[in-house]
Structure formats: structure tokens, C-alpha cells
């Protein structure tokens, strides 16, 4: 299973995003962008103007994790800003049929996300139509929180579902990923690891990505 690492820009120095992104350019597989509205989650991060500004400084695919109320209405603007894949929370949109159709029309990759309190069953009907599913391993809203190990059983369930149905859907995990928890997440079946603090809060973010790869038995 190919493991992809998606550094979360939320942990970067916002005063110098161009430099911060250049530190992970060669090592990351995706750039994870956390869009928060201060309503769906109790924090505000950044939105379309920032995403379109950084589009010109990197070739990394943009993995946009949307933590807003009404995420569907932003899909067109996200596509225009340069998003490659967008994931939306089932707690915000329990039936993502319309959002999926809209993403498809816009040629945007699409995925659904569940927060720690939401069971895998809420996600089951949508896995087949998703390019990626995201199991949150912290409560959405803030970086730097501790990994919630209870979500690993949902990662196992998602991996089982994907493999049993012969799907290509990526299983992503987000929150509290360190070299230790990365190994647990991959053992449970995750193949896309989001890491904010464990990458951008290290002296050498590129090397930190390689440490995560090494911790899950991959590496260059």
C-alpha cells in the first residue's frame, strides 16, 4: 500500500507561506489545507484568497479539508482557487449527493469526513463514490491536539470496506499524527497521513516527512 503524507499548512508560519511550502515541496504528496469558518468549528483559519495565492508557489496537489457550515456552496470557488480534492464533513452535510455531483461537474476530487464522535456507518453509503475518506483522530478545529486512539477501529472498518469492495478509495487520517501514531494508523489501514505539528513545527519539515515515512516502513 502506497503511503501518502499530507502536511497540514495550519501548523506553518503564516507570515511566510511561500518559504514554508518550499520546505515540504520535495517530500510531501499532498498539501492539506484546513478551511475553518468559526461556525462549524470554533476557529477561523483561511479561505479562498489564501488558497489561490499559494497556488502559484507549489506544484503539490491541494487537499482541502472544509470545516464550514454549507461547504457545498464553496465548491466552485475552491475549484477556481486551485483545489484538487475537497473533503466535507458528514456532520455538516449528512447526505452529500448534491455536493458530489457538484464536485464531479467541477472536476474536483471529492471525499467525506467524519469527526471522532461519528460512527463509520454514517460514511458507509458514500465510500464507493469517494476518492478519499477522512477519519478525524482529533476534534476538528485546532492543530496540536492529542491523537484519539478509539478512532482506529473506524480506520479498520473503512479499510475493510474499501478492500472488500475492491475500491481505490484512499483512507486518510488527520489529527495528532506523530511517528508513533502514524504507525498505528497505517497498521489499522490508513494510507494518507495528515500531519501539521509533526511536520511544520520541526526544524526540518522535509526530514520530518521522511521520519513519518520511515516510521510506517516506507522511505527513500
Name which of 125 and 144 has its Cβ closer to ligand DX5: 144
3-state secondary structure of 177: coil
Q: What sign has the CA pseudo-torsion 166, 168, 172, 178?
A: positive
- What mask, x for binding Zn ion by CB under 5 A, covers residues 166 to 205? --------x-------------------------------
CB of 166 to Zn ion, least distance (A): 28
Asked if 86 touches ligand DX5 (CB under 6 A), the answer is no
Q: What strands, in cross-sheet order, belong to the sheet with 85-89?
A: 4-7, 192-195, 170-174, 132-136, 109-114, 85-89, 62-67, 31-36
CB of 38 to ligand DX5, least distance (A): 13
Asked if 37 touches Zn ion (CB under 5 A), the answer is no
Cβ 11 vs Cβ 196: under 8 Å: yes
29 noted as active-site residue: no
Kindly compute the dihedral angle of the four CA atoms of residues 54, 108, 40, 96, in this order, to the nearest 10 degrees: 180
The rounded distance, in Å, linking the Cα atoms of 82 and 48 is 9
Among 65, 89, 159, 213, which residue sits at the site for Zn ion (rule: CB under 5 A)? Answer: 65
Which partner, Zn ion, ligand DX5, none, binds residue 113 by CB below 5 to 8 Å per kind? none
Cβ 132 vs Cβ 109: under 8 Å: yes
Query: Which range in 7-15, 70-78, 80-88, 209-217 contacts ligand DX5 by CB under 6 A?
Result: 7-15
13 noted as active-site residue: no
Asked if 8 touches ligand DX5 (CB under 6 A), the answer is yes
How many CB atoms sit inside 10 A of residue 120's CB? 19
Which partner, Zn ion, ligand DX5, none, binds residue 11 by CB below 5 to 8 Å per kind? ligand DX5
3-state secondary structure of 42: coil
CB of 140 to ligand DX5, least distance (A): 4
Asked if 172 touches ligand DX5 (CB under 6 A), the answer is no
Amino acid at each position: 500500500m502506497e503511503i501518502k503524507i499530507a502536511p497540514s499548512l495550519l501548523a506553518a508560519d503564516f507570515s511566510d507561506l511561500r518559504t514554508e511550502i518550499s520546505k515540504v515541496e520535495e517530500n510531501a504528496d499532498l498539501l492539506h489545507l484546513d478551511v475553518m469558518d468559526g461556525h462549524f468549528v470554533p476557529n477561523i483559519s483561511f479561505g479562498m484568497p489564501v488558497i489561490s495565492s499559494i497556488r502559484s508557489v507549489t506544484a503539490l496537489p491541494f487537499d482541502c479539508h472544509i470545516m464550514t457550515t454549507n461547504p457545498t456552496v464553496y465548491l466552485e470557488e475552491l475549484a477556481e482557487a486551485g483545489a484538487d480534492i475537497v473533503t466535507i464533513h458528514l456532520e455538516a452535510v449528512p447526505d452529500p449527493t448534491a455536493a458530489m455531483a457538484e464536485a464531479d461537474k467541477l472536476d474536483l476530487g471529492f471525499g467525506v469526513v467524519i469527526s471522532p464522535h461519528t460512527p463509520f456507518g454514517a460514511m458507509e453509503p458514500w465510500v464507493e463514490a469517494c476518492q478519499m475518506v477522512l477519519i478525524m483522530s482529533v476534534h476538528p478545529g485546532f492543530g496540536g491536539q492529542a491523537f484519539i486512539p478509539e478512532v482506529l477501529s473506524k480506520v479498520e472498518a473503512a479499510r475493510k470496506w474499501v478492500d472488500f469492495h475492491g475500491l481505490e478509495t484512499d483512507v486518510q487520517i488527520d489529527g495528532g499524527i506523530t511517528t508513533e501514531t502514524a504507525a498505528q494508523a497505517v497498521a489499522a489501514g490508513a494510507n494518507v497521513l495528515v500531519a501539521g505539528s509533526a511536520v511544520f513545527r520541526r526544524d526540518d519539515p522535509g526530514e520530518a516527512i521522511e521520519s513519518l515515512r520511515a516510521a510506517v516502513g516506507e522511505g527513500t
